[in-house]
Structure 1
Amino acid sequence: MGTTITLDLADDLSPARLRELADDVFTWMHEVDARFSTYQSDSEVCRFDRGEVLLSEASADLRFVLEACADLWGVTDGFFDAYATGGLDPSGYVKGWAAQVASDRLLAAGAANHCVNAGGDVRVRGFSPTGEPWRIGIRHPWDEMATCLVLAGTDLAVATSGVYERGRHVQDPRRGAPATGLRSVTVVGSDLGVADAYATAALAMGAAGIGWLDRLTDHTYAVVTDDARQFHSAALPQTA
């Protein structure tokens, strides 16, 4: 997926069990990368895009992701578009979804206190090793060594989409051009795949994305505009 995955396990388990849980997470992430990478020509998503794999032949994971992306296209009025760049690229959903699945599996396996971080898309549950709620720093969009806000909680899915690392890589599907107006969008919810897609969609909308985010009833957000203004939900789980 072209990013770094980190994992924090905070349960009082044996070293062997912690290692087993971590191995399961990273094995899953490698499976997702092999299946959905747009950088590897032999990945299933690339072969499907070229017509070498029929929908009836696709894996259950690929069919699930394609259906989720179609639903998200409708919910976002077309601004979350897995075909925005011409070919199939569901990365704006897959990264968050993969981390969400990893977190769900950890919870089911008895690891109730953990943090899965997929390149800045973060799923936390329970408490940190200090016994306090997890603290999640949101990178300052002009200073990679600073944060612009810090969130805290015990059950949060936090996804950020921005232009400060990969440039204006998110397309405005209405104009067929790179999206402008917003430099960073963070969305907080309960499902990291959905939060990831919503952050991507809002970035694609540009300034209009702020109003769209404000109308969501089950997510909170924080936005930094191209001209350095910041907007956020009143209920955003901030901490000092």
Structure 2
Amino acid sequence: MGTVFSFDVRGGDPGAVRAALDDAVAGLRRADAVFSTYREDSQVSRLARGEITVGECDAEVAEVLGLGAEAERAAGGWFSLRYAGRLDPTGIVKGWAAERAARRIAAAGASGVSVNGGGDVQLLGAPEPDRPWRVGVSDPLRPGGLAAVVSTAGARELAVATSGTAERGAHIVDPRTGRPARTDLVSVTVVAPRLTWADCWATAAFARGAQEGLAWLESLPDAEALLITADDEVRCTRGLAAHLD
């Protein structure tokens, strides 16, 4: 998946939680082997070339493709499972894999789990009783600065995902043209219960641009967002304040 994952795990039986953590890490490595578009022998690469069918792939492939198709419908075509006409589920795999890893660890009895995949975070439970998780949202126009701090106060699960140009340049593609999205935004951060969707929605909203992206995000249930334009204007969905520290 071309990124670094980090874990912060609290509570639970040490042996059970350690085993679940090891299993989660192995699952991330397996996801990379299955879904990588850079590996010629990955199942997704072979599927894209027509060498195998979805039915011949691991069950996770059908799951991810199904979720991706759902994201395409919800985003009105502003999210895609294809790049340059070729199957490429990269836009959904990282969020899905990080969320799945977090839930595996929580299911083993951990009272608090944070899984960070390249800056996109799935949070479950709490780090300590009466203390929420907090996630800083980087300011893309002020290196080292923060645009906001998101808190899980009042929520047992929350995800924070950001799409933009600050870290990787113009890498987000407009599905309609196949070219880098021409947008007035520099970043979109989405807060939602599940990282699978938060990551997809941030990407789709960025491609839409500030006005259309904000209006679309307002229409989504259980999703709030912070958008920053190239003119240093900050726009937020109406319910975002409830998640800010």
TM-score range, shorter chain: over 0.9
What is the deviation of 1:109? 1.2
2:116 counterpart letter in structure 1: N
User: What corresponds to 2:215 in structure 1?
Assistant: 211
Contact 1:106–1:112 at 8 Å: present in 2 too?
no
Q: How does 1:120-139 map to 2 (within 5 A)?
A: 120-129=119-128, 132-139=131-138
Residue 20 of structure 1 corresponds to: 19
Give the alignment's TM-score, normalised by structure 2. 0.91
Residue equivalent to 1:229: 233
Greater displacement, 168-177 / 148-157:
168-177
Task: For 1:239 and 1:94, locate their aligned partners in 2 and report how far apart those are by CA, in whole Å.
Answer: 27
Partner of 1:79: 78
Question: Structure 2: which amino acid aligns with 1:83?
Answer: R
| Identical aligned residues as a percent | 41
Report how far residue 198 of structure 1 moved: 0.8
Q: Output the amino acid matched with 1:126.
A: G
For 2:64 and 2:76, the matched residues in 1 are separated by 18
Matched length? 239
Structure 1 residues 110 and 82 mapped into 2: Cα distance closer, same or farther (>3 Å)?
A: same
Across the aligned residues of Structure 1 and Structure 2, the Cα RMSD in angstroms comes to 1.7
C-alpha displacement at 1:131, in angstroms?
Answer: 5.2
Residue type of the alignment partner of 1:133: P
Q: Secondary structure at the match of 2:146?
A: strand
Cα pair 2:174 2:207 within 8 Å, conserved: yes
Structure 1 stretches of at least 4 aligned residues deviating more than 6 Å after TM superposition: none
The alpha-carbon distance between structure 1 residues 144 and 5, as it changes in their structure 2 partners (threshold 3 A), is: farther
Q: Where does 1:122-161 land on structure 2 (aligned, <5 Å)?
A: 122-129=121-128, 132-153=131-152, 154-161=156-163
Q: Distance in 2 between matches of 1:177 and 1:50?
A: 22
Partners of 1:57 and 1:12 in 2: CA distance: 37
1:39-89 CA distance string (max 9 Å, x none): 222111111111111122122110111111112111111110111433222
> Residues 192-203 of structure 1 correspond to what in structure 2 (within 5 A)?
192-203=195-206
Does structure 1 retain, via aligned residues, the 8 Å contact 2:37–2:45? yes
- CA deviation after TM superposition for structure 1 residue 19, in Å: 3.0
Runs (5+) with no aligned partner, structure 2: none
- Compared with structure 1, are the counterparts of its residues 239 and 205 closer, same or farther at alpha carbon in structure 2 (3 Å cutoff)? closer
User: TM-score, normalised on structure 1?
Assistant: 0.93
Residue of structure 1 in register with 2:188 after alignment: 185
Preserved CA contact (<8 Å) 2:3 2:117: yes
Residue 2 of structure 1 pairs with residue 2 of structure 2: yes
Aligned position for 2:109? 110
The 1:3/1:143 distance shift into structure 2, 3 A limit, reads farther
Q: Which residue of 1 aligns with 2:224?
A: 220
Cα drift, residue 118 of structure 1: 0.9
Report the equivalent of 1:88. Answer: 87
Instruction: Give the AA of the match of 1:111.
Output: A
The one-letter code of the counterpart of 1:175 is T
Q: Hey, what's the Cα distance between the residues in 1 that align with 2:141 and 2:36?
A: 28
Unmatched segments (≥5 aa) in structure 1: none
